[in-house]
Chains A and B, each alone.
Chain A
Amino acid sequence: DVKVTQSSRYLVKRTGEKVFLECVQDMDHENMFWYRQDPGLGLRLIYFSYDVKMKEKGDIPEGYSVSREKKERFSLILESASTNQTSMYLCASSPPRQGTNYGYTFGSGTRLTVV
């Protein structure tokens, strides 16, 4: 089975801290994604990467950056955490072409609280 592993299930950080959320996949997938999910707003795409060192902004990239130095690892960075970044963060990976395969595989999520 494809596994997408997020390093922490729960995380509490202070305002202004630099926060790293790590995601690792073990199926050699080219594409990786970071979403956040908030009540009433659904899943919103922050950033995605379709290859090593490549990244694309999603719908809400402000306040975030990403790093993809190795194919299996995609990191989400909160440069200076703020309380409005308290959320559930979900990582996903997928093969390069969607139509004839099994789509996205998501991790279990990291619930981040910024105090």
Chain B
Amino acid sequence: DAKTTQPTSMDCAEGRAANLPCNHSTISGNEYVYWYRQIHSQGPQYIIHGLKNNETNEMASLIITEDRKSSTLILPHATLRDTAVYYCIVRVAHTGANSKLTFGKGITLSVRP
């Protein structure tokens, strides 16, 4: 699976959009971009994933560049409850014995009042 690079931390003001970047310059054509987040003392939570096209759901939007070498997770109106570690993961749609998911260090988002 391709490696990802994320900043260590960032902050944003409550109510503003939070834009979390991720670089994955070695991504292959069949690899998806996944985002998870982990709020303190809880298990990670799936947010969104995409292959080529931009994606949006009730939690966030995922913008993938045309060359697919980077992406941005957008939380349109950040709240204090969005303070968490956000993980960007790139991987193929594995099955069977190749199903494991590897987490990096992620980016710590702090939303300030």
A binding-site residues for B, Cβ under 8 Å: 4, 31, 33, 35, 42-43, 45, 48, 50-51, 54, 56, 58-59, 90, 92, 94, 96-100, 102-109
Contact = CB atoms under 8 A, between A and B. Distances in A.
Q: How large is the interface on B (under 10, 10 to 19, 20 to 34, 35 or more residues)?
A: 20 to 34
A4 to B, nearest CB: 8
B29 interface: no
B8 interface: no
Contacts of A103: 34, 36, 46, 49, 101
Nearest to A50: B96
A102 B46 contact: yes
Q: Is the interface of B mostly helix, strand, loop or mixed?
A: loop
A43 B45 CA distance: 13
Given A42-B103, A42-B104, A42-B106, A100 B42 contact: no
A51 B99 CA distance: 11
A4 B44 CA distance: 12
Interface of B: 32, 34, 36, 41-46, 49, 51, 91-97, 99-106
A48 B96 CA distance: 10
A99 B92 contact: yes
